[in-house]
C-alpha cells in the first residue's frame, strides 16, 4: 500500500532544492509588521511590495479602534455557524452596508474569500448545470466547480469569442449555465473585457458570477469594482469578493439582486457549516468600507504608485506581464523558475519583499515576481523597489557568471 503523502515527493524535493540555496518562500515569517508598507523579515527591515494591501488600511487608527471595541463587546469569536448561534448584529449590519454600497438588494458575508467562491459556485450549480470558466481562474473557483459537481468547460483567457463558440455548441438540457469571470486577475493584473462578455448574454442564455477580489476598492468611480468601471453592473448577476485585499481584513461577501438569493443561506454547505467571521474582523471591515466610500483619493494614489512602479521597471528593461494599461498588480516575468527564485531571494536581501509565483499556479507556466502597489507607498519607496530590482538582477547575474 502506498503512503498517502508519496504523491508529493517530487513537490517536496523541488521545495528542498530551493531552501538549500535560498530563503524559504513558503515558510517565510514576517517577524513584525511596522506599517502597511514596512516589516521585519529575518531581522531586516524591508519594504512590503507584495501584500495586496491596496488602499493601505491595515494600520488605520479608526479600524484598529473599531476592532478593539468589538473585541471587548463581543469577545474573540462566535463559536458557531451563521445558521446556528453565529449571526450577530454586526454581521447583519455589514451585510446591509455592503448591499447599500454595491447598489444591490442582497448581501451574504462569509468567513473567507475562498469560502465565498466555494459557497456561491456550489450553491448556485449542481450536476445538471454547466459552468464556463476562464482558464486562468483562481484556485477557489476551480475548487468551487468541483464541489458543485456541475459539468464545466474552460475558455481561453479573456477571450469572449472563444466562450461564444462554446456556448453556441452547448446544449444546456434541463440545467442552467453560469459564466465565471474575475475583475482583476491576480497573477498578471489584467482585467476581464467585461462589456464584451456581458454582451453575449443578449444571444446566449446564461448568468454571470464576477469575482471582484482584486478589483473591489480599486476600480470604479466609487470603488465598486470592474463592473462599475465597465458600466455593466446590471449585466452581472452575482458579485463575489474578499475582505483580505482593499479592506485589510479577512472574510468574503457576495451580492446580488436575484429574488431567490437568500436561499443560499440554507443551500450552500460551506456557508452553512463554517463558523461565522469574528466580530473583530467584521468591525474593522465596516470601518474600511466607510474609508473606501469616503476617501476616493486613496484609489488615485494607488494608481499613481502603480503607474510609477510599472513605468520604472519597464525603463530598467524588465519584462512585465502587463503593459497596455495600469494595474495595481505588477508582475515581472523571469526566464526560468531558478532565475525567479534567485531574484526573489536577492530582492529580500536588498530589503524588498515581493511574491514569488511559480507553475503550476501561474498562467502559461510563467515564473513571476509579483508586486502589488499600495496607496500607502511613498514615491521614495516605489523608487527604492525599482532600484532593488536593478541591484538584484546584477547580483544574480554575477553569481551565475
Which domains does the chain show, CATH number per domain?
17-48+296-400 (3.90.1150.10), 61-294 (3.40.640.10)
Phi and psi at residue 275, to the nearest 5°: -60, 145
Cα separation, 374 vs 276, whole angstroms = 29
For residues 257 and 208, is the Cβ–Cβ distance under 8 A? no
Note the pLDDT tens digit of each residue in 252-310. Answer: 999 999 999 999 999 999 999 999 999 999 999 999 999 999 999 999 999 999 999 99
The distance in angstroms from the start CA to the end CA of the chain is 47
pLDDT tens digits along 118-149: 999 999 999 999 999 999 999 999 999 999 99
Spatial separation of the C-alpha atoms in residues 72 and 279, rounded to whole Å: 10
Torsion over CA: 305, 229, 281, 142 (sign): negative
191-235: pLDDT as tens digits: 999 999 999 998 999 999 999 999 999 999 999 999 999 999 999
Share of the chain above pLDDT 90, in %: 93
Which band of pLDDT confidence, cut at 50, 70 and 90, is reported for residue 186? very high
Residue with cell 495600469: 326
pLDDT digits (tens, 9 = 90+) for 34-46: 999 999 999 999 9
∠ Cα 118 160 238 (to 5°): 35
DSSP per-residue string spanning 287-350: HHHHHHHH-THHHHHHHHHHHHHHHHHHHTT--BS--SS--SEEEEEESSHHHHHHHHHHHHHT
CA atoms of 194 and 181, how far apart (whole Å): 8
Cell of 120: 456561491
Q: Is residue 401 pLDDT above 80, yes or no?
A: no
Q: What is the average pLDDT across 390-401?
A: 87
Nearest Cα residue to 37 out of 333, 371, 294, 312: 371
Please report the pLDDT score of residue 370 as a whole number: 98
Amino acid at each position: 500500500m502506498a503512503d498517502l503523502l508519496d504523491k508529493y515527493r517530487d513537490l517536496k524535493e523541488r521545495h528542498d532544492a530551493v531552501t538549500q540555496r535560498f530563503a524559504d518562500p513558503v515558510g517565510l515569517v514576517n517577524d513584525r509588521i511596522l506599517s502597511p508598507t514596512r516589516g521585519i523579515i529575518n531581522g531586516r527591515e524591508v519594504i512590503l511590495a507584495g501584500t495586496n494591501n491596496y488602499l493601505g488600511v491595515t494600520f488605520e487608527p479608526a479600524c484598529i479602534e473599531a476592532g478593539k471595541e468589538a473585541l471587548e463587546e463581543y469577545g474573540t469569536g462566535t463559536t458557531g455557524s451563521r445558521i446556528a448561534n453565529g449571526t450577530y448584529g454586526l454581521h447583519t449590519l455589514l451585510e446591509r452596508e455592503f448591499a447599500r454600497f454595491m447598489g444591490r438588494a442582497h448581501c451574504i458575508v462569509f468567513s473567507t474569500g475562498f469560502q465565498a467562491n466555494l459557497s456561491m459556485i456550489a450553491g448556485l450549480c449542481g450536476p445538471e448545470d454547466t459552468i464556463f470558466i476562464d482558464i486562468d481562474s483562481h484556485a477557489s473557483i476551480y475548487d468551487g466547480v468541483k464541489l458543485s459537481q456541475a459539468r464545466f468547460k474552460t475558455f481561453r483567457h479573456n477571450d469572449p469569442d472563444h466562450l461564444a463558440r462554446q456556448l453556441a455548441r452547448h446544449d444546456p438540457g434541463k440545467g442552467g449555465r453560469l459564466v465565471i469571470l474575475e475583475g482583476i486577475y491576480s497573477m498578471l493584473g489584467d482585467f476581464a473585457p467585461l462589456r464584451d462578455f456581458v454582451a453575449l448574454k443578449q444571444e446566449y442564455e446564461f448568468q454571470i458570477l464576477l469575482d471582484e477580489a482584486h478589483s473591489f476598492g480599486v476600480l470604479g468611480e466609487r470603488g465598486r469594482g470592474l463592473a462599475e468601471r465597465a458600466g455593466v453592473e446590471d449585466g452581472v448577476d452575482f458579485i463575489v469578493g474578499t475582505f483580505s485585499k482593499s479592506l485589510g481584513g479577512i472574510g468574503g461577501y457576495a451580492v446580488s439582486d436575484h429574488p431567490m438569493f437568500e436561499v443560499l443561506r440554507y443551500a450552500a454547505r460551506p456557508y452553512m457549516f463554517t463558523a461565522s467571521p469574528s466580530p473583530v474582523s467584521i468591525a474593522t471591515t465596516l470601518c474600511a468600507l466607510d474609508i473606501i466610500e469616503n476617501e476616493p483619493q486613496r484609489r488615485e494614489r494607488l494608481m499613481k504608485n502603480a503607474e510609477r512602479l510599472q513605468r520604472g521597471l519597464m525603463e530598467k528593461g524588465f519584462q512585465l506581464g502587463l503593459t497596455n494599461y495600469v494595474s495595481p498588480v505588477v508582475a515581472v516575468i523571469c526566464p526560468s523558475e531558478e532565475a525567479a527564485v534567485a531574484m526573489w531571494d536577492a530582492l529580500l536581501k536588498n530589503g524588498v519583499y515581493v511574491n514569488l509565483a511559480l507553475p503550476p499556479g501561474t498562467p502559461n507556466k510563467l515564473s513571476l515576481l509579483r508586486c502589488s502597489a499600495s496607496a500607502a507607498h511613498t514615491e521614495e519607496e516605489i523608487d527604492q523597489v525599482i532600484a532593488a530590482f536593478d541591484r538584484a538582477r546584477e547580483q544574480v547575474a554575477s553569481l551565475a557568471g
